[in-house]
Structure 1
Amino acid sequence: MAGENQTQVTEFTLLGFSHGQPFLFVLFLAIYLATLLGNSAILALVSLDRHLHSPMYFFLSHLSCLDICYSSVTVPKILTNVLRTQATISYCGCLVQMFFLMGCAGAECALLAVMAYDRYAAICQPLRYTHAMSRGVCVTAAAGCWLWGMLDSAVHTLLASRLSFCGTAQLQHIFCDVPPLLRAACSNTHPSEVALHAASVFVGLSPFLLVIISYLRILATILRMPMATSRRKAFSTCSAHLLVVTLYFVTANLNYNRPSSGYSLAANTLVSTLYCIVTPMLNPLIYSLRNQEVQGALRKAVRGKGAQRSPSSNA
């Protein structure tokens, strides 16, 4: 049984930020707007440019959707809290935020693995690529990634809803997530800890291993290509995705597989900021800088707008 000081929690106090931080408000607002603009631009380019109507960019559009969801789940509430004297979130709001945050995390892990397999099929098995990555296969794979993430999140949220909290519920974090909730709980957290460790293996580690295997085989195939131009072209289609994978899995591992002693509050805030706020902003930038097809589509879109404006300007 729980202790006598157990109370019904209606809200949590978030300790990740100091009181009233106008500079952080401006910084996070700028990052959020850049995230929305960059990922929306990717979505628009993939939708409007027929040269980007391929499995690789179909999955990239889903990655952009996930990045928009990631930021929208956390940043608006953070913007509200950084200007308040006390950063809080309601109990129900905390569970809802955690559900969508974990759902996006699980879906993105699976999606990055699917994107790695897509590059493997395109480079290592080009004759079978059209069949292996048909429209039906791509839609099923994308839907499976979203469903996988939401099912994993539902388990964590259900277990978290059964936790009890004693006294003043304070979270050593800037938003609601599983690790800080477990540290704040005063009831048995073992089921949630088991679920978190299982998710680290099946939702986090397994997709990462699939990515590694895919890229090892891609690398072996690229090195066997006779022409340097072919090798450069093949690697250029993978480099952006490889950078995104590295950035995402490194920050996710720091966020969820921390040392048993945990991080300091400042380090915890930094890791969470990189994982959920900065990374979604960087992904479209990486694809824009490292992918020639995306650059070409962007130049074409800019030229198209210029051509539409020119008749009126000459009138």
Structure 2
Amino acid sequence: MEFILLGLGQLPDLQILLFLMFLVIYITTIAGNILIIALVVTDQHLHTPMYFFLGNLSCLENCYTSTTLPQMLASLLTGDKTISFSGCITQLYFFGSLGCTECCLLAAMSYDWYLAICKPLHYSTLMNTRFCLQLAAGSWLNGSLAIAIFILFMSPLIFCGPNEIDHFCCDSIPLIKVSCSDTHLIILLDFILACVFTLPPFLLTLTSYVCVIATILKIPSTTGKQKAFSICSNHLIIVTIFYGTIMIVYMLPKRETLRDLKEVFSFCYTVLTPPVNPSSTA
């Protein structure tokens, strides 16, 4: 009927410090992204494809952090590390679907940057309102459907043994590990989904930014070149950390020696990148 999340229980002496740190991160993330969304909606000058995607990313980041951080904060404050079975599956669905959506959305944003800088004469024609809506809607829909299929494949699994999940949230692999059923098929599906939603978007993002940087280097103005390169490189670093940590967690072999390392990387894309991702783009 319930699971026990052990992820942060191994650091009892740091509970208060972790609570304060995560609380500041959560408040900063929510407040910063709400401010970005408000500016994008109210300022007519920001009704452009770039800021449309930025508004979507800010909304997604708020939803993404809200799937895990409130439960982590409550656990650190009260010491109660239990989560109901239905709550765990619900958290897994939103955590996974929003993560997949972000992978697609970041790729769409990088393509927008590529068109804006490398194809400026054709930008308004190629990146029209309809195409922007299709890219955004496709990102949200693909993420939702992919994890819905994953949850459907998980439904036959039986959980009859230990109810302790060695993670700070209900993620797929830690949850599958406590199942008593044959999990080879669901582990393979998890790997396939990780490949589909990280490798192609990451390669598209990387290719787009290589083209963007090559175009920036041709700018005659030193000041303009430095400003554009700074914005582009900052966002590329954040995006690489996001994609890279996800690929390490979900695509490397499931070995016990990598367990603690993967949990640290999980914190990177779950807790650390959401506060800085939209701001680095803006």
1:206 and 1:261, CA in 2 relative to 1: closer, same or farther beyond 3 A? same
Aligned partner of 1:6 in structure 2 is none
Which runs of 5 or more residues in structure 2 are unaligned? none
Aligned partner of 1:133 in structure 2 is 127
Q: Cα deviations across residues 14-48 of structure 1 (Å, max 9, x unaligned)? A: 11122862332222122111110111111112122
Aligned partner of 2:160 in structure 1 is 166
1:137 and 1:240, CA in 2 relative to 1: closer, same or farther beyond 3 A? farther
1:264 and 1:221, CA in 2 relative to 1: closer, same or farther beyond 3 A? closer
- Give the AA of the match of 2:61: D
Aligned partner of 1:222 in structure 2 is 216
Larger Cα Rg: Structure 1 or Structure 2?
A: 1
State which of 13, 16, 35 in structure 1 corresponds to 2:7: 16
Greater Cα offset, 140-149 or 277-286: 277-286
Q: Alpha-carbon deviation of 1:241?
A: 2.9
Q: Cα deviations across residues 75-116 of structure 1 (Å, max 9, x unaligned)? A: 111112223444111111111101001111110000011011
- Give the AA of the match of 2:229: F
Greater Cα offset, 262-271 or 166-175: 262-271
State which of 259, 266, 274 in structure 1 corresponds to 2:268: 274
What CA distance in whole angstroms lies between the structure 1 residues aligned with 2:213 and 2:272? Answer: 29
What CA distance in whole angstroms lies between the structure 2 residues aligned with 1:154 and 1:174? Answer: 22
Alpha-carbon RMSD: 2.0
What CA distance in whole angstroms lies between the structure 2 residues aligned with 1:24 and 1:206? Answer: 35
- Give the AA of the match of 1:183: K
- Give the AA of the match of 2:206: I
Work out whether residues 73 and 97 of structure 1, in 8 Å CA contact, stay in contact via their aligned partners in 2.
yes
- Give the AA of the match of 1:257: M
State which of 225, 229, 240 in structure 2 corresponds to 1:231: 225
What CA distance in whole angstroms lies between the structure 2 residues aligned with 1:268 and 1:194? Answer: 18
- Give the AA of the match of 2:4: T
Q: Cα deviations across residues 186-221 of structure 1 (Å, max 9, x unaligned)? A: 211122112111112211111001111112222232
Aligned partner of 1:47 in structure 2 is 41
Q: Does 1:35 align with 2:29?
A: yes
What CA distance in whole angstroms lies between the structure 1 residues aligned with 2:7 and 2:124? Answer: 48
The number of equivalent residue pairs is 279
Spell out the pairing of 1:189-228 with structure 2 (5 A cutoff). 189-228=183-222
What CA distance in whole angstroms lies between the structure 1 residues aligned with 2:230 and 2:120? Answer: 16
Report percent identity of matched pairs.
43
TM superposition score normalised by structure 2: 0.91
Work out whether residues 57 and 278 of structure 2, in 8 Å CA contact, stay in contact via their aligned partners in 1.
no
Which runs of 5 or more residues in structure 1 are unaligned? 1-9, 292-315
Greater Cα offset, 19-28 or 134-143: 19-28
Name the SS for the 2:83 alignment partner.
strand
What CA distance in whole angstroms lies between the structure 2 residues aligned with 1:34 and 1:70? Answer: 14
- Give the AA of the match of 1:96: T
Work out whether residues 54 and 278 of structure 2, in 8 Å CA contact, stay in contact via their aligned partners in 1.
no
Spell out the pairing of 1:57-72 with structure 2 (5 A cutoff). 57-72=51-66
Q: Alpha-carbon deviation of 1:237?
A: 4.9
What CA distance in whole angstroms lies between the structure 1 residues aligned with 2:252 and 2:80? Answer: 27
What CA distance in whole angstroms lies between the structure 2 residues aligned with 1:240 and 1:54? Answer: 21
Q: Alpha-carbon deviation of 1:285?
A: 4.1
What CA distance in whole angstroms lies between the structure 1 residues aligned with 2:236 and 2:181? Answer: 41
What CA distance in whole angstroms lies between the structure 2 residues aligned with 1:25 and 1:225? Answer: 47
Q: Alpha-carbon deviation of 1:173?
A: 0.4
Q: Does 1:250 align with 2:244?
A: yes
Q: Cα deviations across residues 35-84 of structure 1 (Å, max 9, x unaligned)? A: 10111111112122233221111101111111101111111111122234
